[in-house]
Amino acid sequence: MTVDIVQFAIILVIMTGLVMVLGKWMARLFTSPAHSFLERGTYRVLGVDPSEKMSWKRYGMVLVLSNAAMMLLGYVLLRVQQYLPGDALERASQTPDLAFNTAASFITNTNWQAYSGESSLSNFSQMAVITFLMSVSATTGVAAAGGFIRGLSRRSTGDIGNYWVDFTRVLYRLLLPLCFVMALVYVWQGMPQTLSADAVVATLEGAKQQIIMGPVASFETIKHIGTNGGGFFGMNAAHPFENPTPLTNTLHMLSMLLIPSALTYTFGSMIMRRRQGWAFFGAFVVMFVGFLALIYNAEHSGNPMLTPLGVDQTQSALQGGGNMEGKELRFGVAQSSMFAAVTTAATTGSVDSMHDSYTPMGGFVPLAQMMLNNVFGGDGVGLINLVTYAILTVFLVGMMIGRTPEFLGKKVEAREMKYVMIAVLAHPLSILGFTAIACLVPATMESLANLGPHGFSEVLYAYTSGTANNGSAFAGLNANTPFFNTTIGLAMLVGRYFTLLPMLAVAGVMAAKNSIPASAGTLSTATPLFTGLLVFIVLIVGGLTFLPALALGPIVEHLLLLTGQTF
């Protein structure tokens, strides 16, 4: 166990060191007045004016319309895949409902897959649709965070920047350079990077075996750095081509945490309050470490139903110990638990183990982190979600002490709180609403491999994953049906835009306000006390909202397991 904890600590220390390096770079990216030659050429091709000052409404409209156009392009390509040249395996086009689900999934940074990558998509579709949408969805999230932070940092102005400038710079100056370097590292570690669709090899028995291949290394870089999560192969990051070594497994985790954690430093730099950025970083870390401890303890303790059978589940020099069902021996309980905690904290959805095989409390952690959706969170949106709860925290504290709440030197009034509550409530309404509908549809039973509490957990996980723009799954659910493809696709769109747009509105409203001087009654939001209050509000509001659903799923499963019953 000591070795496992040391592994966790090393990853978190490296992440913390990268926060300042990348955070400074992103702050410069969002504040530099100069445009590169490549950026100016892109503006001319797109026909946009980089000097245009956009209000939050204009900024949000451009974001949504451009995303809609790219989603439509992806949908069309998936529908005509079988007619496009270059696929030696002649894979069929996706059905209308599956193509809608896939296009919605990847444009919203969800990357939920109701299909198996190697059997459903050609190399052209993997690059022109999936990798393309993963790139622009991550770019959209980080660009939105830039506009959001800029709005909070400004005084008495009606604009929050230019979306096209933010988008272009994030793509050219941040994601492409990071992904290019990481792809070289991944190729060095053994990931394929080829345009060949497959290779036929002779096995040790002399038989012929077809091995699917493709541009995997480039796919994996944006998959993790962009907090996307879709798998080139159905096994996702458990596949040796996607995750060949312990080093790549560690780099995957660091990549997922890289931008969400560094944005806290960017936030502090842009608003000229570095301590505020560190306070938010502290809130992220406190919540993450708590959930990591919970999932690791649950998986390391093993399955109590095996103990009466005399099964040895203790960790030793000869075995990893703990609950190894659904996990790779080469990663073990520690790396698998860490990966599961990271991928659902950063709402990536990449998996190197089967979440459906985790113990009830082990499965509770991915569900809970996705429901909260601000334990680091996805690229850009994670920080925005945390600030949502920060504003809610100052509002509640202000009401308790009888003062008008203030955040970053500005009064928080009724208009902003309405937008905040839309963002806060959209998430549970989507998850609980769609889950309730699914439970009433008779066809849902046909998609379930488990009919007890765990079956409910599988349905709840699907809509939680979709709404949280995560993409991982309790894979006992067959979600490739018209009903699930459509409703989960809608949940993805709600989770992305009905939380993002209201907070852009908050940034626009705050940008137009004048600053007010701090007084003796002003609650400082850059102290350990506020960090503690923020974590408390996140857990209490999220916990009370989702407790009934969790009680019907993982909590009941845990109680049944303790009493030696199946679920």
Average pLDDT, the chain: 91
The C-alpha angle 376, 378, 384, rounded to 5 degrees, equals 75
**For residue 18, what pLDDT is reported?**
97
Res. 357: pLDDT tops 80: yes
DSSP string for residues in 103-139: HHHHHTT----SS-HHHH--HHHIIIIIIHHHHHHHH
**For residue 466, what pLDDT is reported?**
95
pLDDT digits (tens, 9 = 90+) for 262-314: 999 999 999 999 999 999 999 999 999 999 999 999 999 888 877 777 777 78
| Least-confidence region, from 279-283, 462-466, 476-480, 486-490 | 476-480
243, 249 Cβ separation under 8 angstroms: yes
- Looking at 175-331, which runs of residues are DSSP E strands? 198-202, 208-212
**For residue 222, what pLDDT is reported?**
96
Of residues 87 and 15, more confidently modeled: 15
Quickly state the pLDDT bin for 208 (edges 50, 70, 90). confident
Rounded to whole angstroms, the maximal C-alpha distance in the chain is 81
By C-alpha distance, which of 350, 380, 381, 382 is closest to 366? 350
CB-neighbour burial class of residue 13 (10 A; exposed 0-12, middle 13-18, buried 19+)? exposed
Res. 412: pLDDT tops 80: yes
Res. 535: pLDDT tops 70: yes
**For residue 485, what pLDDT is reported?**
96
Question: What does the alpha-carbon distance between residue 416 and residue 561 come to, in Å, rounded to a whole number?
Answer: 45
Quickly state the pLDDT bin for 184 (edges 50, 70, 90). very high
Question: What does the alpha-carbon distance between residue 246 and residue 331 come to, in Å, rounded to a whole number?
Answer: 7
Average pLDDT over residues 37-63: 95
Res. 567: pLDDT tops 60: no
**For residue 516, what pLDDT is reported?**
83
246, 338 Cβ separation under 8 angstroms: no
pLDDT digits (tens, 9 = 90+) for 507-525: 999 999 988 887 777 788 9
Quickly state the pLDDT bin for 565 (edges 50, 70, 90). low
382, 403 Cβ separation under 8 angstroms: no
Question: What does the alpha-carbon distance between residue 252 and residue 181 come to, in Å, rounded to a whole number?
Answer: 14
Residue 477 β-bridge partners: 448
Quick one: angle between helices 381-401 and 414-440, nearest 10? 120
Res. 93: pLDDT tops 60: yes
Res. 30: pLDDT tops 70: yes
DSSP string for residues in 185-229: HHHHTT--B-S--EEEEE-TTS-EEEEE--BHHHHHHHHHHTT--
Cβ atoms within 10 Å of 307's Cβ, excluding its own: 13
Average pLDDT over residues 204-224: 90
252, 10 Cβ separation under 8 angstroms: no
Q: For the chain, how far is it from start to end, CA to CA, in angstroms?
A: 29
Quickly state the pLDDT bin for 200 (edges 50, 70, 90). confident
**For residue 524, what pLDDT is reported?**
87
Question: What does the alpha-carbon distance between residue 364 and residue 211 come to, in Å, rounded to a whole number?
Answer: 35
